[in-house]
Amino acid sequence: MTDDCDGPLVLDDRDRLFDATVDTGMDLTVDIGRLTLANPVMPASGCFGPELGGLMPVGSLGAVVTKTLFADQRSGNPAHRLTESAHGMLNSVGIPSPGTAGFKRDVLPAYRAFGVPVVASVGGLTVDEYWRVVDELADADADALEVNVSCPNLEHGGLAIGTDAAAVERVVTGIAARTSIPLLVKLTPNVTSIGDVARAAEYAGATAVTVCNTFPGMAIDIRSRRPVLGNGIGGLSGPAVKPLALRLVWQAASAVDIPVVGCGGIGTARDVVEFLLAGATAVQVGTATFTHPYAMAEIVRDLPVLCADLGAARPNELIGGLHS
């Protein structure tokens, strides 16, 4: 493994990064409802697991976000599940899940051990499954839930629940009635109006919306004349989608009064500042960690320097600061 510098990554390099991310000298805290984060940086669901704890200073992050959890065990999609694309990555993992019992027993304690807030991502293939997952997590020690409404709705032909504002409202209303912890709702980009869906989530009781999930894409092997991914299509993420995600964050932030968490192509502190200016309160980092596990820690380290250079005493001063 190598970092952005020449030569192999050695322990001393890691220790220096650990030290650099402990104390930034700037107030980086952000609030998502009643949930206060030490800084606005967290991993995107599905892009971080407890096994990465030995590779980076997880305690320097604002929060950790779990992989999406379903009520029962799921094995996910057939191989191949990942493939590179120009300036990005296509994935069709299919969200394997240990089920709620396995999550509470084996997975959640490992996330809790990092000592930062834990956001549990929940999914469902039916509206009732979302509610069942939340009911079964009632005694779990999560600080917030992120409701992944990009899951295919088997009750309506497999279209993602998040493409229908009424379905989103129904799911979130039921979840809000079942829990008192903050609710983030992760929206799909595959909608005509992200503002309409964001407003539906807000009306139903969402604390914040996460914008956005991956964009649908495809890769083809010209020799076999078959799709590269075992499931045929997958979700595109990485730097290629950043301009698209920025626009959606700006539109969502203009439509709602609750915080927006920006996600899509973020890999540097500069990217974070762009999302803050577009209206995001916090951000999630995904694909960047696959090639550079230190990306989030470096963002936390670099963000105060960039904010000061821009004349901001703290990142909060940049939120929604886009001149248009």
Helix 11-20 crosses helix 295-309 at what angle (to 10 degrees)? Answer: 40
Best CA proximity match to 62, nearest among 281, 292, 321, 267: 281
Q: With CA atoms as reference, report the closest residue to 5 among 320, 273, 298.
A: 298
* 108 exposure class (CB count in 10 Å sphere: 0-12, 13-18, 19+): buried
Give the span between the Cα atoms of 189 and 171, in whole angstroms: 18
From the list 151, 212, 263, 307, the catalytic residue is 151
118-122 and 97-98 beta bridge pairing:
unpaired
Q: How far apart are alpha carbons 110 and 104 in whole angstroms? A: 10
Polymer length in residues for the chain: 324
Q: Which two tokens stand for residue 295?
A: 């990306």
In 3D space, the residue among 197, 173, 170, 174 whose CA is nearest the CA of residue 186 turns out to be 197
Which 3 state secondary structure label does DSSP give 183? strand
Mark whether 263 is an active-site residue.
no
- Main-chain dihedrals φ then ψ at residue 101, nearest 5 degrees: -65, -45
Q: Which neighbouring-strand residues pair with 17?
A: none
Catalytic positions, written as ranges = 151
